[in-house]
């Protein structure tokens, strides 16, 4: 709803400007500084709307670490050595048990 109001306010301001109204800018000031915040308070964004935005992510973007690593290598962001090192580290930490062991080893190696 707020997005529709924003578009209507912009449109009304531009129409008033083209029509030669001397105080066309008042439409934008009142619309964005007064009416929009009031509408935001009266009609808060629904959680369902937020979930829609989260679900509209690019389907080509993978959250799989192995796929992301492979894509970085294909793009040329990683050298062969970096790819192999990160791949080994990723395969070592594949399960939750291995993650805990890997963190302990990393702490010991840091000392």
* 18-28 mean pLDDT: 94
User: What confidence tens digit (pLDDT) does each residue in 31-65 have?
Assistant: 999 999 999 899 887 665 555 555 555 555 567 77
User: The whole model's pTM is what?
Assistant: 0.42
| Whether residue 110 has pLDDT greater than 60 | yes
Residue with tokens 């509209």: 56
- How buried is residue 32: exposed, middle or buried, by Cβ count under 10 Å (0-12/13-18/19+)? middle
Planar angle of CA 100, 104, 109, nearest 5 degrees: 145
* Alpha carbon distance 10, 94 (integer Å): 51
Length of the chain: 111
* Alpha carbon distance 44, 70 (integer Å): 42
* Alpha carbon distance 13, 24 (integer Å): 6
């Amino acid at each position: 709803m707020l997005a529709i109001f924003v578009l209507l306010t912009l449109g009304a301001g531009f129409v008033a400007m083209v029509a030669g109204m001397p105080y066309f800018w008042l439409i934008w000031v009142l619309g964005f500084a007064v009416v929009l915040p009031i509408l935001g308070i009266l009609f808060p964004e629904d959680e369902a709307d937020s979930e829609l935005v989260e679900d509209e992510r690019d389907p080509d973007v993978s959250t799989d670490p192995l796929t992301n690593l492979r894509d970085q290598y294909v793009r040329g962001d990683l050298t062969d050595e970096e790819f192999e090192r990160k791949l080994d580290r990723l395969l070592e930490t594949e399960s939750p048990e291995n993650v805990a062991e890997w963190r302990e080893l990393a702490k010991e190696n840091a000392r």
